């Protein structure tokens, strides 16, 4: 008999709500690796935030310094910069491959799932590989009209050190 996998909150990883959330996170990683930024934007709810904090412990994102703190308007501006006209971020952007794994379910309700995962991103540019690693929290809003990301927080393992500029989204 197969053993049921459980997360720290006791929720089965086979819960259909959790499976939907994990599939959305994997879909997001695929869109980003293929530089499909417009469809990536559509994965987010209108009130969502995409955050890359400097302080690895903070939960007070509006009142602390962040590398990225994007609401819908800022996400749209970031995507425009990466896709329209001449921008160094778009013209000379790295090729990336993400691995997202070690999913831990933090919370599950009928309309929302919060997951933590490990992400390792390898970026290749100008004959050089860079490694970006971090813990990612996604809060996924579930809906019959399509599941959406309500919050994404990328906590880089080296966030308090000098982090090079990235011509891609984490």
- Write out pLDDT tens, residues 55-82: 999 999 999 999 999 999 999 999 998 8
CATH number at residue 84: 3.10.450.50
The domain of 98 spans 16-156
pLDDT at res. 92 = 67
86 contacts: CB under 8 Å, gap ≥ 6:
none
pLDDT at res. 5 = 47
Q: Please report whether residue 43 resides in a domain.
A: yes
151 contacts: CB under 8 Å, gap ≥ 6:
48, 49, 51, 137, 138, 139
Q: Please report whether residue 5 resides in a domain.
A: no
Q: Please report whether residue 1 resides in a domain.
A: no
Q: Please report whether residue 3 resides in a domain.
A: no
Q: Please report whether residue 8 resides in a domain.
A: no
Q: Please report whether residue 113 resides in a domain.
A: yes
Question: Within the chain, which residues score under 50 in pLDDT?
Answer: 1-5
pTM comes to 0.88
pLDDT at res. 55 = 94
Q: Which residues pair with 105 in a beta bridge?
A: 115
Q: Please report whether residue 55 resides in a domain.
A: yes
121 contacts: CB under 8 Å, gap ≥ 6:
96, 97, 98, 99, 131, 132, 133, 170
Q: Please report whether residue 161 resides in a domain.
A: no
Q: What is the domain count for the chain?
A: 1
């Amino acid at each position: 008999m197969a053993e049921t996998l459980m997360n720290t909150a006791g929720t089965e990883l086979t819960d259909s709500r959790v499976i939907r959330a994990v599939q959305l996170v994997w879909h997001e990683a695929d869109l980003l690796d293929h530089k499909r930024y417009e469809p990536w934007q559509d994965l987010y709810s209108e009130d969502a935030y995409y955050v890359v904090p400097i302080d690895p412990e903070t939960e007070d994102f509006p009142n602390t310094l962040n590398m990225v703190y994007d609401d819908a308007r800022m996400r749209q501006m970031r995507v425009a910069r990466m896709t329209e006209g001449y921008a160094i971020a778009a013209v000379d952007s790295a090729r990336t491959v993400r691995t997202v794994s070690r999913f831990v379910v933090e919370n599950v309700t009928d309309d929302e799932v919060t997951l933590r995962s490990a992400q390792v991103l390898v970026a290749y540019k100008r004959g050089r590989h860079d490694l970006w690693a971090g813990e990612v929290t996604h809060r996924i809003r579930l809906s019959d009209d399509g599941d959406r990301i309500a919050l994404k927080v990328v906590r880089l393992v080296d966030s308090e050190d000098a982090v090079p500029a990235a011509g891609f989204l984490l």
